[in-house]
Chains A and B, each alone.
Chain A
Amino acid sequence: MNEPGAIPAAAPLLSVRGLCKHFPVLSRGFRRPSSEWVKAVDNVNFDIAQGETLGLVGESGCGKTTTARCALRAIDPTAGEVFFRLPDGRVVDLARLSAGELKPVRRHVQMIFQDPVSSLNPRMTVRDIVGEPLVIHGLARGDELETRVAEVLARVGLKPEHRTRYPHAFSGGQRQRIGIARAIIMRPSLIVCDEATSALDVSVQAQVLDLLKELQREFRLTYLFVAHNLDVVRNFCDRVAVMRKGRIVELAPTPQIFAAPQHAYTRILLSAVPSPDPDVKMNFNVGEELAKLDAAE
Chain B
Amino acid sequence: MKNDTIAAISTAVANSGIGIVRISGERAIAVADKVYRSKSQKKKLVDQPSHTVHYGYIQDDNEVIDEVLVTLMRAPKSYTTEDVVEISCHGGIYSMRRVLDAVIRNGARPAEPGEFTKRAFLNGRIDLSQAEAVIDVINAKNQYALKSSLSQLKGSVYKKITELRKKILSQLAFIEAALDDPEHISLDGYAKSLEQEIKRLADQIRELINSSDNGRILKEGIQTVILGKPNAGKSSILNTLLKEERAIVTDVAGTTRDVLEETISFDGMLLNLVDTAGIRNTEDIVEKIGIGKAKEKAKQADLVIYVADSSTEVDENDREIINVLKEKKGIVLLNKSDLPQVTSEEDLKEYLGGFFPVLTVSAKEKIGFDQLKRQIYEMFYSGEINFNDEIYITNARQKAALTEAENSLERVLLSIENNMPEDFYSIDLMDAYTSLGEIIGEAVGEDLINEIFGKFCMGK
The answer to whether A and B interact is: no
**Chain B residues engaging chain A, CB cutoff 8 angstroms:** none
Chain A residues with a Cβ under 8 A of chain B: none
